[in-house]
Chain A
Amino acid sequence: MNSKRSAEILVGLFVAAGIAALFVLAMKVSNLGDFTDDKGYEVVANFQNIGGLKPRSPVTMAGVRVGRVSSISLDPDTYDAKVTINIYPQYDNIPMDTSASIFTAGLLGEQYISLSPGADDFFLQDGDIIDLTQPAVVLEQVIGQFLYSTAEGE
């Protein structure tokens, strides 16, 4: 009976360790931790081209992460990409005339949205639209334009 008891205790420890490992993976390794402070507000930005932007890509202001992309869809009327951004609740004083650009982290890194603040006295609220946007820079286009202009110059 005693060995049975210790076996059961070890099984309990094993199951607990397994669940703890899953918990560590969830909280420490993945971005599931972010979901807990998900109570921010959402604004929409329309881009001509979003390049490689994905849901859950970071949204930064002056390099500080202030939110994340919550969803991306195509606007059926303007054929622009409609990007919904979730901004963390503590950043509730972002000016109305803030502009959004899509940048790439490093030469080949992932893409993110960078917000540059305007000077308006009104702040962005849930459901507002960011009007000033700058599309993603597509590397192939830049190279193409560069080659084209050098070819013209000759």
Chain B
Amino acid sequence: MIEVLRSLGRWGLDTFQRLGRGHIFLMQMLAGMPSLAFRFSLVVQQLFYVGVLSVLIILISGLFVGMVLGLQGYNTLVDFGAEESLGVLVSLSLVRELGPVVSALLFAGRAGSALTAEIGLMKSTEQLSGMEMMAVDPMRRIIAPRFLAGLISMPLLAAIFSAVGIFGAFLVGHGLLGVDDGAFWSQMQAKTDWYEDILNGVIKSIVFGFVVTWIALFEGYDATPTSEGVGRATTRTVVHSAFAILGLDFVLTALMFGDI
């Protein structure tokens, strides 16, 4: 019994310690941001790895998610004779929810895990240590540009996802199922609000980008410097990111759309 309590206590302390380390890491990371103003080429380089390389998966997933939404939405709406509202249904679900959330989940799987693996590998091969000894702060040289790149990429990826998704739904709805294209677009435009819906979706995706990139970089930086440790850290990145995205999504949705 005492043993159980003791291990529970130790687990609790470890968790708080990690939480504390994570936040100290965040502070150090943010402290490294101003120096990026002089070295923006580092950020551009990371935008390539973090952003550009995620575009393909975002494009394909967005297209299919939109097409499925078009199909499913049509089947439900046609019962009420409201198939013209397909555009609204699709645009609101994508812009408010699916765009930010699904693209953040994909981003965590594609870019987040790659970041963790890269940083973890740099740690285990003493590259970070070596940089410190060359008087180059890895927080500024390695971590900060990746963080900023993640922060910039995420909303852009989410916007691409939503736009492609709506296009996919239009292909299915208009091309396959024969929904009137005028009604599709006009209803969508009438009911989708720039501030209420689209900007809130953008804010969500910025928050997700912040959290996912932070988790990914911290897990890499904090990984046990062995190949096993890096592997575990990569898994943790994906799992923790998914929890964080879905949990935060609820909180943000309640703040933005629910009148709580």
Contact = CB atoms under 8 A, between A and B. Distances in A.
Interface of A: 4, 7-8, 10-11, 13-15, 17-19, 21-22, 24-26, 28-35, 56, 58, 106, 110
B163 A24 contact: yes
B48 A11 contact: yes
Interface in B41-62: 44-45, 47-48, 51-52, 55
Query: Main SS of chain B's interface residues?
Result: helix
A13 B166 CA distance: 21
B159 A31 contact: no
A14 B55 contact: yes
Contacts of A17: 55, 156, 160
Contacts of A56: 193
Interface of B: 44-45, 47-48, 51-52, 55, 82, 91, 95, 152-153, 155-157, 159-160, 162-164, 166, 185, 188-194, 197-198, 202
A30 B52 CA distance: 26
Given A8-B44, A21-B163, 5 more contacts: A7-B52, A10-B52, A15-B156, A18-B157, A30-B192
B159 A7 contact: no
Given A15-B47, A18-B160, A19-B156, A28 B52 contact: no
B192 A14 contact: no
9 contacts: A7-B45, A8-B48, A10-B52, A15-B51, A22-B202, A29-B166, A30-B189, A33-B189, A56-B193
Contacts of A33: 189
A11 B163 contact: no
A29 B198 contact: yes
A14 B95 contact: no
Contacts of B48: 7-8, 10-11, 14
A154 to B, nearest CB: 34
Given A21-B159, A21-B160, A22-B159, A30 B51 contact: no
Contacts of A110: 191
A19 B156 CA distance: 7
A26 B198 contact: yes
A29 B92 CA distance: 10
Contacts of A30: 91, 95, 189, 192-194, 197-198
A47 to B, nearest CB: 21
A11 B44 contact: yes
Nearest to B154: A18
Contacts of A25: 95, 159, 162-163, 166, 198
A31 B52 contact: no
A30 B199 CA distance: 11
A31 B193 contact: yes
A14 B47 contact: yes
Contacts of A32: 194, 198
A18 B156 contact: yes
A25 B100 CA distance: 14
A11 B47 contact: yes
Contact of B52 (A11, A22, A29, A35): A11
A20 to B, nearest CB: 8
A131 B106 CA distance: 56
Contacts of B164: 21
A34 B194 CA distance: 10
A106 to B, nearest CB: 8
B95 A29 contact: yes
Contacts of A34: 189
B156 A21 contact: yes
Nearest to B189: A31
A46 to B, nearest CB: 25
